[in-house]
Amino acid sequence: MKGPVVLSVDFIREITSFKCQFTEEVLCILIASWGRLGLAKYCTEVFGQISFLGLSPTTRLYNAVIDALVKSNSLDLAYFKFQQMPADNCVPDRFTYNILIHGVCKNGIVDEALRLLKQMEGSGYSANVFTYTILIDGFCNAKRVDEAFKVLETMTGKNVLPSEATYRSLVHGVFRCLAPDKAYAMFLKFLGKESLLSKQVYDTILFCLSKNSLSREAAELVRIMGKKGYFPDSSTFSILMACFIKDFDLKDTCNLFNAFIEQGGKPGFNTYLTLIKALFKAEMVEEGAVAAATVQIRNKQASRPPLSLTRKTDLPNFV
């Protein structure tokens, strides 16, 4: 079946003829699908006639409709439904407020999000990690980066632990609204204050640095990570190597490659291949041959010996 499910009179009669009925859960699923397709008006029309389906308004159904309207970029209609809830004896809950906060933050209207947050707390619902993550994204959309970082301080004060999604929103948001070098400078200050951060934070910053061709900054962060006992995962390192090979000194790139392997890292085949091509192109034939031989050994054996691409003994370390 192509296109959205439409609740026509004939379709409803067919359902009821089999002695079946629409449940709240089924209607919520249908409303969500209409929201993803941008059918805001249809969502409100169906919701206004749910009595014909044998259903009554509930907070859960209101949340489904408000969420669908937000996803359909119909924020005014979402607010209208929100204001209708008391008339149907439905009380907004944390989900209701988070949906609306997401809607206004998506449009960069963070002050309204803060007003909704106060209203939510006044109703007895405390903000959770999803609320704060949405606020961080909203502050970044509004280019109010300093306030985005302050949300993390608020979370600490409220004993709410940031999730990986929280940090990803912060990192991508800051790099989205600031020049890459300024974004990196801000994160250096932030990393200096925070003693314990998940590896995902470092990997996400490295990803953004690599995508913006900031190879020297990425190499600096790799060394900072090493002092704290972290080193990139294979997928992040693959992106890093592509950046280093294009914009960084090739001998220093080899040193970083060696250090990654010595710390137990396992570069992918494409990472080897990219490095081998770059080495031969730069006429570093001996190093290229060693790398090529290592790939062959790796294909034959489950465990491979450490690879050395340079004659230097004082290789940079990650620890």
Whichever domain contains 120, its CATH number is: 1.25.40.10
Q: How many domains does the chain have?
A: 2
User: Quick one: pLDDT at residue 253?
Assistant: 84
Shared domain check, 105 and 87: no
- Residue-level pLDDT at 144: 94
Last residue of a domain, one of 54, 70, 91: 91
**Which own/partner pairs from 246-251 qualify as long-range (CB within 8 Å, at least 24 positions apart)?**
246/213, 246/215, 247/213, 247/215, 248/215, 248/216, 248/219, 250/278, 250/279, 250/282, 250/284, 251/310, 251/312
Query: Per the domain annotation, does 312 fall within a domain?
Result: no
Instruction: Count CA atoms within 13 Å of residue 93 on its CB side.
Output: 10
Q: Is residue 49 part of a domain?
A: yes
* 129 falls within a domain: yes
Same domain, 1 and 78: yes
Of the residues 39, 64, 91, which one is the last residue of a structural domain? 91
pLDDT, position 193: 74
pLDDT tens-digit profile, the chain (319 residues): 456 777 766 677 777 777 778 899 999 999 999 999 999 999 999 999 998 888 999 999 999 999 999 999 999 999 999 999 999 999 999 999 999 999 999 988 999 999 999 999 999 999 999 999 999 999 999 999 999 999 999 999 999 999 999 999 999 999 999 999 999 999 988 887 765 577 788 889 988 998 898 988 988 888 888 787 777 877 888 888 888 887 778 888 888 888 887 877 778 778 888 888 888 888 887 877 777 777 666 666 545 444 444 443 343 443 3
Q: Which sign does the torsion angle of CA 213, 218, 219, 220 carry? A: positive
How high is the pLDDT of residue 195? 57
Same domain assignment for residues 97 and 168: yes
> In which domain, by residue range, is 79 found?
1-91
Same domain, 26 and 55: yes
Residue where a domain stops, chosen among 176, 199, 221: 176
